[in-house]
Chain A
Amino acid sequence: MTSPLLVLDGVSVAFGIPAATEVSYSVAAGEVVAVVGESGSGKTVTAMSLLGLLPGTASVTGRALLAGRDLFTLPAGELRAVRGGEVGMVFQEPMTALNPVFRIGDQLAEVVRAHRECTAAQAKQRTVELLALVGLPATARRKYPHEMSGGQLQRVVIAMAVANEPTLLIADEPTTALDVTVQAEILQLLRDLRGRLDAAVLLITHDMGVVADLADRVVVMHDGRVVEQGPVAEVFEAPRHEYTKRLLSAVVSLSTPPPADLPDATEVSPGVVARGEHVAVTEPTWSVPDVPGDDPVLTLAGLSVSYGRFRAVDDVSLHVSRGEVLGLVGESGSGKSSIAGAITGLTAIGGGVVSLAGKDLTRLRGRELKRARGRIGMVFQDPASSLNPRAKIARSIAQPLVLHGSLRGAELTAKVDELLDAVQLSTSLRERYPHELSGGQRQRVGIARAIALDPELLIADEPTSALDVSVQARILDLFRSLQTELRFACLFISHDLAVVERLADRVAVLHGGRVVELGPARDVLTEALHPYTRRLLAAAPVADPVLQRARREAWLALGHTE
Chain B
Amino acid sequence: MRALRFAASRLVGTLLVLLVVVFITYVVFYLVPSDPAQLSCGRPCTEQNLALAREFMGLDDPWWRQFLDFLGGIVTGRTFGVGATSIHCSVPCFGYSFQQNTDVVVLITERLPVTFSLGLGAAVIWLVTGVGAGVLVALRRGSALDRVTLAGSVAGVSAPVYLVGLLGILVLGFTLDVVPVGGYVPFAESPVDWAWHLVLPWLVLAFSHAAVYVRLTRSQMLETLGEDYIRTARANGLRESKVIGKHALRNVLLPIVTVFGLDLGTLLGGAVITERVFSLPGLGGLLIDAVTQRDLPLLLGCTLFAAFLIVLANVLVDLCYGVLDPRARLT
Chains A, B in direct contact (C-beta < 8 Å): yes
On A, residues with C-beta under 8 Å from B are: 48, 51, 53, 55, 76, 80-85, 89, 91, 93, 96-102, 110-111, 114-115, 144, 146, 157, 160-161, 163, 384, 435
Instruction: List 27 A-B pairs, Cβ < 8 Å.
Output: A51-B235, A80-B240, A83-B234, A83-B236, A83-B237, A84-B235, A84-B237, A85-B237, A91-B235, A97-B228, A97-B232, A98-B229, A98-B232, A99-B251, A100-B327, A101-B251, A110-B238, A111-B236, A111-B238, A114-B236, A114-B238, A114-B239, A144-B326, A144-B327, A161-B236, A163-B236, A435-B226
B250 touches A (CB below 8 Å): yes
Given contacts A96-B228, A96-B229, A435-B226, whether A101 and B237 have CB atoms under 8 Å apart is no
Residues of A within 8 A of B250 (CB): 99, 101-102
In the complex the two chains form, is A81's CB within 8 Å of B237's CB? yes
In the complex the two chains form, is B228's CB within 8 Å of A101's CB? no
Report Cα–Cα, A84/B236, bound state, in Å.
4
Residues of A within 8 A of B231 (CB): 48, 53, 91, 97
Q: How far is the CB of B93 from chain A (nearest CB, A)?
A: 46
B324 touches A (CB below 8 Å): yes
B233 touches A (CB below 8 Å): yes
Residues of B within 8 A of A89 (CB): 235-236
Residues of A within 8 A of B324 (CB): 101
In the complex the two chains form, is A384's CB within 8 Å of B226's CB? no
In the complex the two chains form, is A384's CB within 8 Å of B228's CB? yes
Residues of A within 8 A of B240 (CB): 76, 80
B247 touches A (CB below 8 Å): yes
Report Cα–Cα, A416/B121, bound state, in Å.
57
Report Cα–Cα, A157/B227, bound state, in Å.
16
In the complex the two chains form, is B235's CB within 8 Å of A83's CB? yes
Residues of B within 8 A of A91 (CB): 228, 231-232, 235
Report Cα–Cα, A384/B226, bound state, in Å.
13
B140 touches A (CB below 8 Å): no
Contact of A110 among B228, B235, B242 (CB under 8 A): B242
Contact of A99 among B233, B237, B239 (CB under 8 A): B233
Q: How far is the CB of B226 from chain A (nearest CB, A)?
A: 7
Report Cα–Cα, A146/B329, bound state, in Å.
12
Contact of B232 among A76, A99, A101, A384 (CB under 8 A): A99
Residues of A within 8 A of B228 (CB): 91, 93, 96-97, 384
In the complex the two chains form, is A80's CB within 8 Å of B327's CB? no
In the complex the two chains form, is B236's CB within 8 Å of A160's CB? yes
B325 touches A (CB below 8 Å): yes
Contact of A100 among B233, B236, B239, B251 (CB under 8 A): B251
Nearest CB to that of B329 among chain A residues? Answer: A144
In the complex the two chains form, is A99's CB within 8 Å of B229's CB? yes
In the complex, besides A51-B234, A80-B238, 8 extra interface pairs with C-beta distance below 8 angstroms are: A53-B231, A53-B234, A53-B235, A82-B237, A83-B237, A100-B325, A114-B237, A144-B326
In the complex the two chains form, is B326's CB within 8 Å of A115's CB? no
Report Cα–Cα, A51/B235, bound state, in Å.
7
Residues of A within 8 A of B247 (CB): 99, 102
Report Cα–Cα, A111/B250, bound state, in Å.
17
Report Cα–Cα, A47/B242, bound state, in Å.
24
Q: How far is the CB of A307 from chain B (nearest CB, A)?
A: 12
Q: How far is the CB of B1 from chain A (nearest CB, A)?
A: 12
Residues of B within 8 A of A384 (CB): 228
Report Cα–Cα, A102/B229, bound state, in Å.
11
Residues of B within 8 A of A101 (CB): 250-251, 324-327
A82, A84, A99, A146 — most chain B CB neighbours (10 Å): A99
3 closest A-B pairs (Cβ-Cβ)?
Answer: A84-B237, A84-B236, A83-B237
Q: How far is the CB of A78 from chain B (nearest CB, A)?
A: 11
Contact of B238 among A55, A84, A97, A161 (CB under 8 A): A84
Residues of A within 8 A of B229 (CB): 96-100
Nearest CB to that of A96 among chain B residues? Answer: B228
Contact of A96 among B227, B233, B238 (CB under 8 A): B227
Residues of A within 8 A of B327 (CB): 100-101, 144, 146
Report Cα–Cα, A382/B266, bound state, in Å.
43
B window 227-280: CB within 8 A of A:
227-229, 231-240, 242, 247, 250-251
B window 8-55: CB within 8 A of A:
none
Residues of A within 8 A of B239 (CB): 80, 114
Residues of B within 8 A of A98 (CB): 229, 232
Residues of A within 8 A of B251 (CB): 99-101
Q: Mark B72-96, 1 if CB is under 8 A from A, else 0.
A: 0000000000000000000000000
Residues of B within 8 A of A55 (CB): 226
Q: How far is the CB of B182 from chain A (nearest CB, A)?
A: 43
Report Cα–Cα, A48/B234, bound state, in Å.
11
Report Cα–Cα, A161/B234, bound state, in Å.
12
Residues of A within 8 A of B237 (CB): 80-85, 111, 114-115
Residues of A within 8 A of B238 (CB): 80, 84, 110-111, 114
Nearest CB to that of B233 among chain A residues? Answer: A99
Report Cα–Cα, A157/B233, bound state, in Å.
11
Q: How far is the CB of B317 from chain A (nearest CB, A)?
A: 16
Nearest CB to that of A81 among chain B residues? Answer: B237
Q: How far is the CB of A224 from chain B (nearest CB, A)?
A: 21
Report Cα–Cα, A110/B233, bound state, in Å.
9
Q: How far is the CB of A465 from chain B (nearest CB, A)?
A: 17
